[in-house]
Structure 1
Amino acid sequence: MTVVSNDQITKAPDGGWGWIVVMASFMQHALIDGMTCTFGIFYDDILATFNEGSARTQVLSSIIVGVSFLIGPFTGVLINRFDCRSVAMVGGAVGFMGTLLSTFSKNLNIMILLYGVVGGIGLGLVYSPSLVIVSYYLDKRRALATGIATCGSGVGCLVFSPVNQVLIDTYRWKGALWIVSAILFNCTLFAVVYRPLKFTNRKNNPVEPIAMSSNANTSFDLKKTVDELKQSLKTITVPFFTDSAFLLFMTSSVLVAMGIQIPYNLLPTFALAKGLSDSDGALLISILGMSNTVSMVLSGLVADYPWADSILTYSVPLLIGGVASVFVSCYSDFITLAIYCIVIGVGIGTYGDLRLQTYEFILGYYNYAGVYYAGAPV
C-alpha cells in the first residue's frame, strides 16, 4: 500500500476538471444526505408497519449514518489500494442494493441489517472518496470547493423532503424507497468523473502510487487488505492521538456528529405533535436543508480569506445552534420552528464545510488526509 507522505504531493489542477469533480461530489452529497437526512418522513410509516417501538425504529437512521463513518479506516485502505473512483462506484452499487432489498424485509431486524448496515457500507464507500478527491483536485480555493461540494447535503434535504412526501402519498413508503434507491444508484455514475491524479515528489519527479498505476495488481485480496488496514491504523492514526489539540477537536466532532441527525429525524414527528401537518414537517426539513446549503457556501467563501479564523467561524454557529436546541420544547408554532431550522441549519452547514479544514489547520494537509482515512471524523 502506498501512503502519501510529506515527500509526495499531489499537484492540484486548481481548475478545469477539478470543478467537474466538485460538482460530482456535490451531487453525491445531495443523494446520500438527501436520503439519510429525510428518514424522519418515512419514520411514522415504518413504525406502523413493524410496530417495534419508537426507539428501535430510530435505530435505522442511527445505524446507516454510523456505519457509513465507522468504515472510514477500511475505505481509506481501499482508496490507497485502488482509487477514489473505483471505491465510490462500488459503494453506489452496494448502497442501491441495500436500500432496495430492505423494502422486502419481513421484520425490523432484517431491515436494520439491509438498510442500516449494507446501505451504510455503500454510502460510506461513496462519502469518503467524494471528500478526499476534492482536496486532491483543488488547493487555492479548497475551502470554497469543499463548501460547494458539501452543500449538496442541504440541497438534497431541500429537494428530497417534498419529493419523499409525494412519493409516500402516491406509492406508500416501500414504493417510495424503491424510487429513492434507483435515484441513489446515480452515485455510481457520478463517481466516473473521479479521475485519479498522479503524485509528484517535492523535486517535481513523478511518483506513481500503486492505486494510480496502470501496472498495479488491483485484484482484491481480503487478507492483504486487512493487513494494510492494521498497518494504516498503526502508522497513520496512533501519532495523532498524542496531539491534545487534535484530541479535543475530535471529541467535539464526535459530540456534534451524535446530535446533528436528531433534528432531521424527529422534526416531522415533533411538528405533528404540535398540531402541524405532514407537509409542514416536510417543509421544515426543506428549510433546514436550505439554511444548511447557504451556510456551507458562505462559510467556505469566508474561510478562504487570510484574515478569516476558521475555528471561530466553525465554533460560533454550533454554539448558537446548541443553545437554540436546548429550548426546542418551547417552540409550538410553524414560524418559530422555521426560525429554529434556519439557526440549526447554519450550525450544521459550517460544521460540514469547515470540519475538514480545521483538521488540516491543526495537523497539516498531509496528516489531515491520513487521519481522514483512519476515520477520525466519526
Structure 2
Amino acid sequence: MTTHTTAGAVRRQPLLLEKVKARMKDCARNEGPEYDRAPDGGWGWVVVFAALCNLGFMYGTVRSLGVFFVPMMETFGTNAGTTSWVVSTVMGCSFACGPVSGALVRKFGSRPVAMTGGVLVCLGYLLSSFATTIYHVYVTVGLVVGVGTSLTHVASTSIVGRYFDRRRGLANSMALMGTCVGSFALPPLFQLLINEYGMRGSFIIIAGLELHVCAFSSFFRPIRLKGDSVKRTRVEEEEGNPSEDVHTASRTCCCNIIDKSLFRVPAFLVHIGSMMLFTFSFPTLIFFIVPRARSIGIEEYSAAFLLSVNAITDVIGRLSSGLIMSYRPSPLKRLWLAVIPTLFLGVTSLVFPLATTYTLMLVLCVFFGLFSGLYVPTIVTLIPDFVGIAKLPQALGTMLMFNGVMSLIGSPAVGWLFDITGNYNVSFLLCGGVIVTSGLFRLTAHCIMGDMGLCRSTAERTQPVAHEAEQKTLLKTADFPHEPVVIEVETTV
C-alpha cells in the first residue's frame, strides 16, 4: 500500500511540475482566459480590490506628503518654493513616464509592471531616509518614486478597464477610491510617525508599507478579449503571408511608445487639454491644504485631519460617480459628469481664501473632496469612449505625459507665489481659476463638436451597434495604402 501510494505521488509530481511550468509560460506571454467580451464581474472584482489597494498606497502617500512639508523645510533649511519641487517632481515624473508605462503594460502585462513599480517606490522612500539635502529628495522621491508610481498606476487602471465594460464606470470609481482611502488613513499616521521617529524614520516605515503593492499586484490575472485581435496588413493579404492574428494588445510590438493615431481623435485631444489645465492646479491644492491651515494657527493634528476629511468625502463622491455612470450608462452622461463637478471644484477653490477659521476650512474640504470625487473617475472612464478599450494603456500613458508637463510647473509656481506674497490666498485663487477654465474649455469644445446634446439632436448618435448596445461606438476601418489596416473608434457622445 505504501509502495503504491509513493508511486502515485511520483507520477503526480511531474504532472504538477508541468502544470506549473505551463502556467509560468502563460504568465510570461501575458496570456489568460479568452472572453468574447469583458466579463463585467467575477475575478474582476478581485482585480478592482487589488487596484484599490495599490492606488491607496501609491497616491495616498503622495497626497499625504503635505504632512512632511514643514519638517522638510526645517530639516533642509529650504523655503516653500524649493520644497514644493518634491511633490512637483514626483507627480511630473509619474505622469511623464506614462507612455513608457503604457507600452510596457501592452508588452508584458499589468502584473509584472505593477510589481516592478512597487519595488521602485519602496526603494525611493528608503533612500530618502538617507538624504542630506533637498536635492537628494528630488531624485529619490521625485524620480524613483515617480517612475514606480507611473508603472503601478497605468498597470492598475488598465487591467480594471479590461475586466469591465457596462460596469466600467463603477469599477473605475471603486478602484480610484483607493487614493481617497489612503489620503484618509495616512496623514494622521504619518504625523504620528514624524513625532515618534522623525522624518527619516518615517520614510523607512513608509518604504515597508509600499512593498504591499507587490502582493496585491499578484492578483492581476491577465485575460484575452476577442476585440484585441489585430487584422493582417494589406501587404500581407496581397502576398498571401499566412501570419496569424495577434490576440492580445499586450503581445503587439511596443516599439511605438506613442500611438500617433490617438492624435487624430478630436475628443481625445480635448480631453488631454482639459486634463493639462486640471493637473496644473489639483495636486497643488491638495499639497497646500495643510501648510495653509498651519499658517493661520491651526495645530498640526487638526491640520492633518483636514486631508482625512477631504478623503472621506472624496470616497463618497467617487462611489456616487460610479453609480451614476453605471445606471443606464452612456457617453453623454459621462461627459456631463466630467464638466459640472469641475466647475464647482474650481469655485470651491476660489472661496478658500475666505476660510479664516478651522470650521470654514473643514466645510470647504468637504465640498472639495466631494466634487473632486465626482470628477476623477471620469478621467479614465471617458478614454475608451474616445479611442476604444484596446488602446487604453497607451492613451492613458499619453495623457499622463502631457499632464506631467503641467504638474512639473504647478507646485513650484504656487510655492513661489507664497514666497512673494507671504500667504497662500493668491495661490488658491490662481488654482481655482485654472480649474474653472479647464471645465469651461471642455464644455465649449464639445458643444462646438455637438457632443453635449445641446447644439443638435443626439438621437442617431446614440443608436447602438448591432449586438453591442452598451458600447455605443461606431467603428470604421481606416484605409491607408501603405499602413496596416487598423480599427479606430469615433466618439459618439
TM-score normalized with structure 1 length: 0.88
- Structure 2 matches for 1:223-234, cutoff 5 A? 228-229=254-255, 231-233=256-258
Aligned to 2:377: 353
Aligned mates of 1:263, 1:201 — CA distance in 2: 40
Structure with greater Cα Rg: 2
- What SS does structure 1 have at the residue aligned with 2:218? helix
- The alpha carbon displacement at 1:267 in A equals 1.1
Is this contact kept in 2: 1:61–1:116, CA < 8 A? yes
Q: Does 1:183 align with 2:209?
A: yes
Is this contact kept in 1: 2:118–2:149, CA < 8 A? yes
1:66 is aligned with what amino acid? G
Aligned to 1:222: none
Aligned to 2:164: 138
Aligned to 1:260: 282
Is this contact kept in 1: 2:95–2:397, CA < 8 A? no
Is this contact kept in 1: 2:164–2:171, CA < 8 A? yes
- Gaps of at least 5 residues in structure 1 are 3-7, 214-224
- What SS does structure 2 have at the residue aligned with 1:374? helix
* Corresponding residue to 1:55 among 45, 59, 81: 81
* Corresponding residue to 1:45 among 50, 71, 82: 71
Equivalent pairs, count: 355
Quickly say closer, same or farther: Cα 1:246–1:208, change in 2 above 3 A.
closer
* Corresponding residue to 1:273 among 289, 295, 308: 295
Quickly say closer, same or farther: Cα 1:323–1:211, change in 2 above 3 A.
closer
Aligned to 2:45: 19
- The alpha carbon displacement at 1:368 in A equals 4.0
1:232 is aligned with what amino acid? I
Aligned mates of 1:353, 1:137 — CA distance in 2: 16
Moved more, 128-137 or 304-313: 304-313
Q: Deviations over 1:67-121 (max 9, x none)?
A: 1111111111211221100000111001100111011012111111111101111
Aligned to 1:342: 366
- The alpha carbon displacement at 1:34 in A equals 1.3
- The alpha carbon displacement at 1:16 in A equals 1.8
Q: Does 1:287 align with 2:309?
A: yes
2:155 is aligned with what amino acid? P
Is this contact kept in 2: 1:89–1:191, CA < 8 A? yes
* Corresponding residue to 2:261 among 239, 257, 263: 239
- What SS does structure 1 have at the residue aligned with 2:226? strand
2:101 is aligned with what amino acid? T
- What SS does structure 2 have at the residue aligned with 1:260? helix
Q: Does 1:128 align with 2:150?
A: no
Quickly say closer, same or farther: Cα 1:199–1:246, change in 2 above 3 A.
closer
2:313 is aligned with what amino acid? S
- What SS does structure 1 have at the residue aligned with 2:312? helix
Is this contact kept in 2: 1:9–1:202, CA < 8 A? no
Q: CA RMSD in A?
A: 2.4
2:57 is aligned with what amino acid? L
Aligned mates of 1:185, 1:32 — CA distance in 2: 10
1:288 is aligned with what amino acid? N
Quickly say closer, same or farther: Cα 1:210–1:329, change in 2 above 3 A.
closer
2:369 is aligned with what amino acid? G
- Gaps of at least 5 residues in structure 2 are 1-28, 230-243, 404-493
Is this contact kept in 2: 1:39–1:264, CA < 8 A? no
Q: Does 1:75 align with 2:90?
A: no
* Corresponding residue to 1:90 among 100, 113, 116: 116
Moved more, 184-193 or 320-329: 320-329
Q: Deviations over 1:246-299 (max 9, x none)?
A: 222211111111211123211111111111110111110001111111111110
- The alpha carbon displacement at 1:15 in A equals 1.8
Aligned to 2:273: 251
- The alpha carbon displacement at 1:211 in A equals 4.6
Q: Deviations over 1:95-149 (max 9, x none)?
A: 1001110110121111111111011111111110000000111222111011000
- The alpha carbon displacement at 1:210 in A equals 8.3
Quickly say closer, same or farther: Cα 1:212–1:240, change in 2 above 3 A.
closer
Is this contact kept in 2: 1:34–1:160, CA < 8 A? yes
Is this contact kept in 2: 1:198–1:212, CA < 8 A? no
Q: Does 1:312 align with 2:331?
A: no
- Structure 2 matches for 1:158-177, cutoff 5 A? 158-177=184-203
Quickly say closer, same or farther: Cα 1:307–1:87, change in 2 above 3 A.
closer
Aligned to 1:321: 345
TM-score normalized with structure 2 length: 0.68
